[in-house]
Amino acid sequence: MSHRFDWKTWTIGHWSWWRVLRILLLSYGTIATYGYFFSDRQMFPAPPPSYRDRPDILKLTTANQQQLSALYLNHPTAQYTVLYSHGNGEDLGKIQPHLTQLNRLGFRVFAYDYRGYGTSQGQPSESAAYEDIQTVYNYLTTQLKTPSHQIILMGRSIGSGPSVYLATQKPVAGLILESAFTSIFRVLVPFPLLPFDKFPNRDRLPQVRCPVLIIHGTQDSIIPFHHGQALYATANQPKTFLPIVDADHNNVSGVGGAQYWQGIQTFQNQLANQQPRKLCQ
Residues marked as catalytic: 157, 220, 249
Cite the DSSP H helix spans in 88-143.
Answer: 92-104, 126-138
Neighbours of 95 (CB within 10 A): 21
With beta carbons less than 8 A apart as the criterion, state whether 121 and 91 touch. no
| 149 vs 141: CA distance, rounded Å | 10
With beta carbons less than 8 A apart as the criterion, state whether 175 and 167 touch. yes
Helix (H) or strand (E) holding 203, with range, is: helix 201-204
Using DSSP, state whether 25 is helix, strand or coil.
helix
